[in-house]
Structure 1
Amino acid sequence: MAVPKKRTSRSKKKIRKNVWKKRGYWTALKAFSLAQSIYTGNSKSFFV
């Protein structure tokens, strides 16, 4: 039989949400940095 789980606290929910958002921020920053280096021609790891 299904039993309702205990409610997650607001602080825990906020922490998890922020971790998730921060991961997206760093990925976007990395992509932007790579695009910038390709555009300026300074990339050493990416060949066009």
Structure 2
Amino acid sequence: MAVPKKKRSKAKKRTHKSLWKRKASFEAQKALSLGKSVLSGRSTFVYPENEDEDDEE
């Protein structure tokens, strides 16, 4: 039989929400930093080139 969940208090709700937003903000900051690095050409990030796939055919 279905049982309703217990209600989360306002304080816990606000804490949980702020932690979730902080994690999202940190990930967005990392993505932006990586994008800037790749565009500037100074990155050590290695990604496959499409030319290799064309040579195999």
* TM-score for both structures, normalised by structure 2: 0.67
**Between the two proteins, what is the percent identity of the paired residues?**
43
| Structure of larger gyration radius | 2
TM-score (norm 1): 0.77
Unmatched tracts of structure 1, length 5 or more: none
In structure 2, list runs of 5 or more residues that go unmatched: 48-57
The Cα RMSD (Å) is: 1.5
Moved over 4 A (4+): none
Give 1:3 shift. Answer: 4.1
Aligned length: 47
Compare relative contact order (CA 8 Å, sep 6+) and give the higher one, 1 or 2: 1
Give the 5 Å matches for 1:24-43: 24-43=24-43
